[in-house]
Amino acid sequence: MNRVTFSTPRCIYSIMKLLFNIITKSTGVIVLVLLSGMLYAQQPVILSVDKVSSSMSETVTIKGSNFGTDPTKLVVYFGAVKGTIVTASNQLIEVKVPAGTTYRDIAVTNIATGLSGYSVNPFLLSFSGKHPFTTADLSAQSDFDAETGLYDHCLCDLDNDGKSDVATANNGANNITILRNTSSGVGNINFVKIPFAIGTKTLHVRCGDLNGDGKQDLVLTEGTSAFSDRVFILQNISSGVGNINFNTTSIKLTGRKNTKVDIADIDRNGKPELLVTDQGSNTISVLVNQSSVASIAFDATPFNITIPSTASTDGISVEDLNGDSFPEIVTSQFQTSPSDLFIIKNNSTIGTIAIGTITRLLIPKSVKRIRIGDLDNDGKKDIAATLIFGDSISIFLNQGSGSDINFSSTPKRISTQANPWGLDFGDLDGDGKIDIVTASITQTELAIFNNESTPGNISFVKQTVSTTYITRHIRIGDLDGDGKPDISFTSVDKTGVPASKVSVFRNSHCVFPVISPTETPLTLCTGALPYKLYATVSNGAYYEWRKNGVAVSCGLNQNTFDVTSATGTGIYTVKIIAEGGTCASPTGCGEESDGINITVVAGSAALTNPASNGPVCLGGELKLTLGNNVAGATYKWTGPEGFTATGAAPTLSNFQLINAGRYYVDVTVGSCLARRESVLVEAIDVPTFTISPADALVLCQGAPSKDLNVVPNNPSYTYQWFKDGSPVGTGSPLTITSVPASSGSYTVKASNVGCSVSEETSPVQVNIATSITAAFTAPATACANQKIKFTNQSTSDLSVATVYKWNFDDGKTSTEKDPEHIFTSAGGYDVELTVSYKDNACAETIIVPITVTPAPAVSITNPENKYLFCEGAKLQLQVAGSFTTYTWSTGETSSSIEVSTEGTYTVDVTATNGCVLTASRTVETLPAPGVIITATPPQINEGETSQLEASGLENYTWEPSATLSNATIANPVATPLSSTTYKVTGLDANGCEGTASIDLKVAGDATVNKLKPGNFISPNNDGPNELWVVENIQTYPQCGIAIYDDKGVRVYEAKPYQNNWDGTFNGKRLPDGVYYYIIRCDGEESVPRAGSITLIR
């Protein structure tokens, strides 16, 4: 498969990332830096974010280059929902954080080009609350119907109305469910159900804009047969609020058993890939995005990543773990213990996917789901995974530095509820730290982990909240527009308890308001009035503004307040009244901010009209000026990267992209602030130039000339071309003639005279190759179904890679040099071979006829026509028809074989007419049943009962059965007298056997202590003491006895013991003396009971 490889080196991206991945601080502003000119149509590339969290409606400044100046062509997504763009220039975007922000990387998309850039760090919605969070902050559970077999769900705004809708995957119905968010206000969460047919069951779903049109698309994995090898892509063609619609396509990954799917731009070319895990093999399939704005398309041949020494892949999460902007992949195995985690280092360059070292993190239990985020607030992303049979989360702390990837070898384990499945991240109490929520596939409760971590130290406080049903997957995000993340989860079906509902716990935690500007005390001139104060935004809340403790204003959503000459000097605070409270009835939440001490004095100043000499050349000097210098005033400047200065005309040397942004000047007259103004400063960015075509160019001697072009061809730059380091021409394009002297390595240096900067491209190799002669040999005649060898005898330039394309005239092709082929039907065929260099250069074609004569049909069959079989079983394969010889790919030479592993099996047979024929058959193993077994409660007192329950099978057989109410149902009641291990076996829907076991503990004394063994036996037929009796042992059939003589010879053994030993050994009477017994009971082998028996006749 041919892919365009861009010559922009990965190191440029990494160096720029290192330079710009700096967090800058400025009030109410988040800054993302973008580097332009790096690839394709100059897509945005996010290089830094000045904040990693903020509250809703806070203004975010995106800083960088290559945006353009038309805000209608830009979209900024904060996970599920897009923000509202306030202003846009080529290097700066100001955008408001949406209420529905979910913990994902920020995406900036140019909908004209369909290309996107992504932040290195996920963005966290944090609403300025106070720690801790308690389950009392959650409203009652709300349920919304989905389709039968609800499995997974995702949050995304599908109709661009600013609200997170819900899309579900259902493995019990051929529809997916869209729950359109129709919530009418804070506290009123509501959805309208829209079934959407795709004609098959589904397993997992993810949301993301795949074609850069500003609409979130859906991707789902199939959840039907044993193969489940299709991925469904639903292109969002919604036409407005409430009009949600999709075009559906699918991609078949033949032979795969698809599990999870994720969306990420692996090669950072502006188009996100699809990553699909496979429970049937150790492979992750990466589907390479070839979409345009108009339509979604992916390369039919996936880029496959193989995980060594594993049998499967399952959980997946994708995030940049070492700060180089190329995201790593973290995966696990499917339902194995140990499962372990695997970190796949991303060594891609722009436009070309490549993987590096795969690091294995040891986990002794089975991993279900993985999430990546900065859990200890040290600026590094950590890894969390749920352990379904470990009843815990494992957290690996990121200990890497620079570009190294390094995680703690021993994870921090945090206990959860039993059998945790899904997990998600979000800030539930608004304190700026990531909290965690987990679901359970067996328990009717969620576990909430409130974050109390510090850098390098993981600490969470666990709480649980009861749910109506068992649950599987969690998503955290605001659903009612108040800017506080709610908890949504899939309530899933349980044996005898149908559910299939998307459920929601609404977050009603109180907001603690913060007033900005935060400067206090502050002296204002009357000429600076009205002076606006801003409070934390909490949609649907009432704001009571207070001066010196007395309310001066109150209103719904009134998050700003003007200090005027009428309000004057005082200490200003604001109280947010919410969760049922109003100005008239201030109940519910009523948190009050810290005070801002403002003094108002007489004074005024005219506009200063700040300006600059921008855009500024990189490395040049920024000069800030004032259009109007106010007499008697002093000036204080602030700006990006902590810039501060005083005076009317400050400067900044060595100006770089990180210094671009908004510069503020405070004008002070006397002792009071008279005015605050700002100026936006941009940089003249240097594009990363490339040569087109970017791959090696091949020309045949004597062929027409070809052009090398500079991309982008910027008229502000001049271009000097070099071949093998020597200058060969200027301008763009450079024409290459097809003479041998033109071969070499070409680069171009772009120079901007005005800025005194230049940049040289990566090289492009040009080869002037000799002509090709196409030739091959093959038999003139052959039999149908006979394997034919084609021998290539073509000649070409050995210094250039040669491409072979075969067409066998039967609809089949090959790109091998010397292929083998089987014609399945008799007839005449014109076999065509085309030999060329890259991009079909110097192509030469030859056609050779071949006659294929009839031959007996040959095929590999199974007596029951079955080609799927259970793990551990065997499948018979046989050749239909009669032949003289058989040679299987296994080495066997009989007409039939038995196989125990999946794969493709071939057989060569000799027909009676001498034809050697070949047949093949692919067989697959069915996945082992996923059997989950629970005991409720897991520990009882003697005489009490426990409810056992198993799922994942069609029939059930339990053992030991003696203490069960029914040993052949899914949910028997157990009444063991001592601690017992129960094992269940059965067949699933495919007829495959599955098994699982569970320990049910019985509290109290050991069983042996409840027995009363005798110490005397007199078997002389006179009546008393004829047998050795252990009182109560017949109540405990799990107990056995062994008796030894004084030499240690075992003379008797029984389990269960029926109180029937009569002092004999192998039918012979034992002599009088002292004998010794040992009693052991199942589950208590470590605490046996021993004693002596005196035998007297």
- pLDDT tens-digit map of 598-631: 999 999 888 899 999 988 888 889 999 999 999 8
Determine the Cα–Cα distance for residues 1095 and 1016; give it in Å rounded to an integer.
Answer: 6
Which phi and psi angles does 526 have, rounded to 5°?
-60, -25
- The answer to whether 525 touches 165, Cβ cutoff 8 Å, is no
Residue with the bigger pLDDT between 815 and 929: it is 815
For 378-417, the pLDDT digits (tens) are: 999 999 999 998 899 999 999 998 888 999 989 999 999 9
Which phi and psi angles does 576 have, rounded to 5°?
-95, 120
- Residue 426: pLDDT band (50, 70, 90) is very high
Question: Residue 566: how many CB atoms within 10 A of its CB?
Answer: 9
Determine the Cα–Cα distance for residues 102 and 265; give it in Å rounded to an integer.
Answer: 18
Determine the Cα–Cα distance for residues 361 and 833; give it in Å rounded to an integer.
Answer: 49
Q: What share of the chain in percent tops pLDDT 90?
A: 72
Q: How many residues does the chain have?
A: 1097
The number of angstroms, rounded, from the C-alpha of 627 to the middle of its chain's C-alpha atoms is 52
In the chain, what is the greatest distance between 2 CA atoms, to the nearest angstrom? 130
Which phi and psi angles does 473 have, rounded to 5°?
-120, 150
Determine the Cα–Cα distance for residues 475 and 426; give it in Å rounded to an integer.
Answer: 9
Beta strands 868-870 and 916-926, pairing class? parallel
Mean pLDDT, range 1030-1055, rounded to an integer: 92
- The answer to whether 168 touches 131, Cβ cutoff 8 Å, is no
For residues 797-820, b (16+ Cβ closer than 10 Å) or e, as one string?
beebebbbebbbbeeeebeeeebe
Which phi and psi angles does 1062 have, rounded to 5°?
-115, 20
Q: Which residues pair with 488 in a beta bridge?
A: 475, 504
Residue with the bigger pLDDT between 717 and 487: it is 487
| Helical (H) or strand (E) element with 11 | helix 10-20
Token pair 């004829």: residue: 1026
Look over the chain and give the mean of its residue pLDDT values, rounded to a whole number. Answer: 90
Q: Count the alpha carbons within 13 Å of 384 in the hemisphere toward its beta carbon.
A: 27
- Residue 131: pLDDT band (50, 70, 90) is very high
The number of angstroms, rounded, from the C-alpha of 277 to the middle of its chain's C-alpha atoms is 10
Residue with the bigger pLDDT between 535 and 7: it is 535
- The answer to whether 421 touches 442, Cβ cutoff 8 Å, is no
Torsion of CA 309, 314, 318, 323, to 10 degrees: -30
For 466-488, the pLDDT digits (tens) are: 999 999 999 999 999 999 999 99
For 104-130, the pLDDT digits (tens) are: 999 999 999 999 999 989 999 999 999
Torsion of CA 850, 853, 855, 857, to 10 degrees: 60
For 445-467, the pLDDT digits (tens) are: 999 999 999 999 999 999 999 99
- Residue 496: pLDDT band (50, 70, 90) is confident
Nearest CA to 1039 out of 1090, 1080, 1002 is that of 1080
Torsion of CA 868, 874, 880, 885, to 10 degrees: 140
The predicted pLDDT at position 228 comes to 83
The predicted pLDDT at position 227 comes to 61
Q: Per-residue pLDDT for 226 more than 80?
A: no
Mean pLDDT, range 17-44, rounded to an integer: 38
Tokens of 141: 């559970």
- Residue 1023: pLDDT band (50, 70, 90) is confident
Query: The sheet that has 932-936: what strands, in order across it?
Result: 932-936, 946-951, 973-974
Tokens of 5: 């490889």
The predicted pLDDT at position 16 comes to 39
Residue with the bigger pLDDT between 926 and 245: it is 245
Tokens of 573: 């605070």
Nearest CA to 348 out of 369, 370, 315, 326 is that of 326
For 546-587, the pLDDT digits (tens) are: 999 999 999 999 999 999 999 999 999 999 999 999 999 998
Between the alpha carbon of residue 302 and those of residues 85, 290, 299, 316, 810, the distances in Å are: 36, 12, 7, 17, 26
Determine the Cα–Cα distance for residues 1009 and 762; give it in Å rounded to an integer.
Answer: 82
Q: Is there a cis peptide before residue 132, judged by omega within 30 degrees of 0? A: yes
- Residue 32: pLDDT band (50, 70, 90) is very low
Q: Per-residue pLDDT for 333 more than 60?
A: yes
Tokens of 118: 């992504």
* Domains of the chain, first to last: 10-125 (2.60.40.10), 135-505 (2.130.10.130), 515-601 (2.60.40.10), 610-684 (2.60.40.10), 690-769 (2.60.40.10), 776-853 (2.60.40.10), 860-926 (2.60.40.10), 932-1003 (2.60.40.10), 1007-1095 (2.60.40)
Torsion of CA 565, 570, 575, 581, to 10 degrees: -70
- The answer to whether 686 touches 752, Cβ cutoff 8 Å, is yes
* DSSP character at residue 586: -
The predicted pLDDT at position 758 comes to 81
Residue with the bigger pLDDT between 254 and 28: it is 254
The predicted pLDDT at position 18 comes to 34
Q: Is there a cis peptide before residue 364, judged by omega within 30 degrees of 0? A: no
0.85 surpassed by pTM: no
Q: First vs last Cα of the chain: how many Å apart?
A: 92
- Residue 3: pLDDT band (50, 70, 90) is very low
- Residue 1073: pLDDT band (50, 70, 90) is very high
The predicted pLDDT at position 225 comes to 61
